[in-house]
Structure 1
């Protein structure tokens, strides 16, 4: 199983359709998409700046932002299956479909290690990959990505959040950060993995 996190920055990008179509076609039964928060999540940060509510509320708002993006993705590509629980994810994959994770189980009443601003959808994707014992984590970004950089360097540059390295440091799976234009490379890797 691959976890593929598609950044919120792609929510208005024409390449989003291509990513969803390729993952739906070539990742059947093997891919779980994690949506970013994007502009939906930016609203939470902007309103927190105005009203000064706590990070738990802001976290919950960003989880709902991820859910909105997931619903948009499924609206664009009806072959995708919305899945909120591990059982729903596994059922979608077992049926030969691609799941889009709606992390509503991560709505919290009290603060914990997931309810901080340095835990974004990048870290939540790694958290899910750990929980599902994924084979690979792919994080799709709009910015340029240099494969030779370490995760710590990506965090220092703000390309991934500050907690991402902690969630992936003991990972049993490879972590690939890719640019939005690397869809064909990811598709080829999926095809090669299917042939193995």
Structure 2
């Protein structure tokens, strides 16, 4: 099983439909898409700046932003199955479908290690990959990604969040951080994985 995080910055990009089409066609039965919060999460940041509510409320609102983006993705690509829990993800994959995660289970009543802006949807994708014992984690970004950069360097430059390196430190899966234009490379990886 692969976890593929689609950056929220793609929410207004025509390439989003390409990614969704490729992942739904080639990833059926083995891909879980984790949506970023996109413009929905930007609204959370804006309102937190205005009203100064705490990071727990902001975290919960950002989780809902990811869920909104998941629903939008399914609206764009009806072959996707919105899954809100690990059993639903596994069921969708067992049925040969591609799942898109709406992480309602991450809503919190009390603050914990996930409820700060140091943890974005990138780290939540890694958290899910760890829980699902994923074979691979792919993070798709709109910005240019220097393939020679370490995870620590990408976090320092703001490409990844501050907790990502910690969450992936002991990961057993390969980690790929790719630019949105590299969908053909990911297509080849998926095709190769299907035949090996």
Length-normalised TM-score, structure 2: 0.99
Q: Secondary structure of the equivalent of 1:91?
A: helix
How far, CA to CA, are the matches of 1:4 and 1:80 in structure 2?
A: 13
Q: Secondary structure of the equivalent of 1:145?
A: coil
How far, CA to CA, are the matches of 1:133 and 1:33 in structure 2?
A: 15
Kindly state the Cα deviation for residue 148 of structure 1 after the two structures are TM-superposed. 1.1
How far, CA to CA, are the matches of 1:108 and 1:27 in structure 2?
A: 31
Q: Report Cα offsets for 1:27-70 as digits up to 9, x if no partner.
A: 01000000001110011111111111110000000000000000
1:112 counterpart = 2:125 = no
User: In structure 2, what is the equivalent of residue 38 of structure 1?
Assistant: 38
User: In structure 1, what is the equivalent of residue 5 of structure 2?
Assistant: 5
- Matched pairs, number: 196
Q: Report Cα offsets for 1:119-155 as digits up to 9, x if no partner.
A: 0000000000000000000000000011111000000
How far, CA to CA, are the matches of 2:140 and 2:97 in structure 1?
A: 20
User: In structure 1, what is the equivalent of residue 127 of structure 2?
Assistant: 127
User: In structure 2, what is the equivalent of residue 55 of structure 1?
Assistant: 55
Q: Report Cα offsets for 1:3-43 as digits up to 9, x if no partner.
A: 00000000000000000000000001000000001110011
Structure 2: gaps of 5 or more residues: none
1:92 counterpart = 2:92 = yes
Runs of 4+ aligned residues of structure 1 deviating over 2 Å after TM superposition are none
CA RMSD of aligned residues (A): 0.4
Q: Secondary structure of the equivalent of 1:11?
A: helix
1:65 counterpart = 2:104 = no
How far, CA to CA, are the matches of 2:22 and 2:46 in structure 1?
A: 34
Structure 1: gaps of 5 or more residues: none
How far, CA to CA, are the matches of 1:45 and 1:12 in structure 2?
A: 18
Q: Secondary structure of the equivalent of 2:131?
A: helix
How far, CA to CA, are the matches of 1:162 and 1:180 in structure 2?
A: 21
Q: Secondary structure of the equivalent of 2:137?
A: strand
How far, CA to CA, are the matches of 2:115 and 2:171 in structure 1?
A: 21
